[in-house]
Structure 1
Amino acid sequence: MPSTVSVYAGVDLAADPKRTGLATIRDEGERVVVEDARLGAGDDAIISVVGGARKTGVDVPFGWPRPFVEHVAAHSAGTLGSAPDSGPAWRRSMTARRTDAVVRERFGLVPLSVSADRIAHPALRWSVVEARLRDGGTDCPRDGSGRVCEVYPAAALRSWGLPFRGYKAADASAVREGVVDKLGEIVDWNGFREECVRSDDVLDAVIAALVAREAAAGRTLAPEPGDLDLALSEGWIHLPLAGMPH
């Protein structure tokens, strides 16, 4: 074992703590050992795990589209000016972040809209966790350059050439087992294999931790300079570069 061992964490954040997956992995160089992988995590548990990890991947939008935020603020204040129209192009600007557009362009996947889908509920929860982390002195800019980064497990699986559709269904344990077996080329499941086969939320938490490890090594798609300002406000999905994690 190397003298310096890094620990990474992953969170598959749900609005309900009972449905939140949480995982920690230990990087031993050629192998990654799962230290914990479980279902059920409150805010305090998440904050504790982030504090003990070099980097944590979180499967939840870190922010809202800037035009949406500005629109809602103006609407609330009664200062909203008239728009040319409210057609599809305008609505897309309200519901898709810059990072969502990049994921769609690069991978053909469409992340859930934090403005218009149910993913807003866990995103609201994360906004509180983020504030607590920040108040506690944790460096957590939304572009992922600090101790936490936003991840998208399905896109990570696609980048790694693994099944990325249909693995989250209740009756898809066979698909999850295939993913777990393939990840076993680098991951020592350390007794947590069956939990990841049984629960897609727990598996996503482990994938989130693996992406955090890739991000820490500079092996994810970070924002281009022109996108950095938006990423610091809206969040940025860190996508692992092609090829299995190593």
Structure 2
Amino acid sequence: MLTVGVDLAAEPVNTAVAWLDWASGRCSVRRLVIGADDALIVDALSTAGKAGIDCPLGWPVPFVEFVMAHQAGHVNVPADTTGRAWRRNLALRLTDQQVYERTGLTPLSVSADRIGHATMRCAAILARLAREGRPVDRCGRGAVVEVYPAASLKLWGLPHRGYKRPQHLADLGRLVDELQAAAPWLDLGPHEAACRRHHDALDAVIAALTARAASQGLVATPAKDQMDTATAEGWIALPTTPLEDLRP
């Protein structure tokens, strides 16, 4: 099986894609590209058994409704909701709030932070996939699932903070060391150096590992009463078992 991880940024220069080959009792990084354009990403998603994208797949439903109401001149603020709580529901999706409840981590707001630029690009990529006959189920039930590498790392007991700061390159190297110790069956091969130098590359690998967990049913999925919202907003796949359970 081939899993793909995409660390999606607004521009190709900071976008990384990793291909993981699960065969012969090992997991090998077959290919890793930093500086991935839309065409490469679409091709990767189209050929993967399961792919994980580190980017929101949608916007909060209350935010979309708010923008539409504002455009029409009919914004109504709920009388029983304080300003901060109301804005929180506009800024964070249901899945973002679920991630916080489980991990203590708050994903960036797709409606109130710069990650919205990456999500615009992601929406265009998903639309292109749909036109090519591969529509994406934002709940993760199809070939593509939304992932959050920091949350996956934390749930797997690995360092999840600080490694993205340019001045903390040593932290990135230590994370690679701990990942290899926790998953000796993971072969980074000639791409190890890139993972030690570029956090985008490592996040793409973590995204592909999380995609593997999703393919094996080892992630949290929306409850029945959450499904409609998750289908519109996207749903972050959080691992439910140790990293060792992904051993081929």
TM-score class normalised by the smaller sequence: over 0.9
Q: Residue 107 of structure 1 aligns with which residue?
A: 103
2:218 touches 2:241 (CA, 8 Å); kept in 1?
no
Q: Residue 16 of structure 2 aligns with which residue?
A: 21
Q: 2:143 aligns with which of 144, 147, 152?
A: 147
Deviations 1:25-79 (A, max 9, x none): 1001531100111210111110000111101100000011100001101111223
Find the aligned partners of 1:29 and 1:120 in 2 and give their Cα distance: 40
2:126 touches 2:135 (CA, 8 Å); kept in 1?
no
Structure 1 residue 83: Cα displacement: 4.1
Gaps in structure 2 of 5+ consecutive residues: none
Report the secondary structure of 2:142's partner residue.
coil
Q: Residue 132 of structure 2 aligns with which residue?
A: 136
Find the aligned partners of 1:162 and 1:175 in 2 and give their Cα distance: 12
Report the number of matched residues: 241
Structure 1 residue 86: Cα displacement: 6.1
Find the aligned partners of 1:30 and 1:44 in 2 and give their Cα distance: 31
Report the secondary structure of 2:209's partner residue.
helix
Distance 1:27 1:91, change over 3 A: same
Structure 1 residue 240: Cα displacement: 1.0
What are the equivalent positions in structure 2 for 1:1-246 lying under 5 Å apart?
6-28=1-23, 30-81=25-76, 83-84=78-79, 87-184=83-180, 185-244=184-243, 245-246=246-247
Aligned-residue identity in percent:
45
Structure 1 residue 186: Cα displacement: 2.4
Find the aligned partners of 1:130 and 1:218 in 2 and give their Cα distance: 23
Structure 1 residue 171: Cα displacement: 2.6
Structure 1 residue 82: Cα displacement: 5.2
Name segments (4+ residues, structure 1) moved above 3 Å: none
Q: Quick one: which amino acid aligns to residue 21 of structure 2?
A: R
Find the aligned partners of 2:186 and 2:122 in 1 and give their Cα distance: 28
Find the aligned partners of 1:213 and 1:138 in 2 and give their Cα distance: 19
TM-score (norm 1): 0.94
Deviations 1:175-213 (A, max 9, x none): 222222233212111210010010000100010011001
2:145 touches 2:237 (CA, 8 Å); kept in 1?
yes
TM-score (norm 2): 0.93
Q: Quick one: which amino acid aligns to residue 154 of structure 1?
A: A
Deviations 1:105-155 (A, max 9, x none): 000001000010111000011010011111111141100111110000000
Q: Quick one: which amino acid aligns to residue 128 of structure 1?
A: A
1:197 touches 1:203 (CA, 8 Å); kept in 2?
yes
More displaced stretch, 99-108 vs 23-32: 23-32
Find the aligned partners of 1:28 and 1:82 in 2 and give their Cα distance: 54
Structure 1 residue 164: Cα displacement: 0.3
Report the secondary structure of 1:175's partner residue.
helix
Distance 1:82 1:213, change over 3 A: closer
More displaced stretch, 56-65 vs 169-178: 169-178
Report the secondary structure of 1:192's partner residue.
helix
Report the secondary structure of 2:190's partner residue.
coil
More displaced stretch, 170-179 vs 49-58: 170-179
Distance 1:239 1:182, change over 3 A: same
Gaps in structure 1 of 5+ consecutive residues: 1-5
Report the secondary structure of 2:172's partner residue.
helix
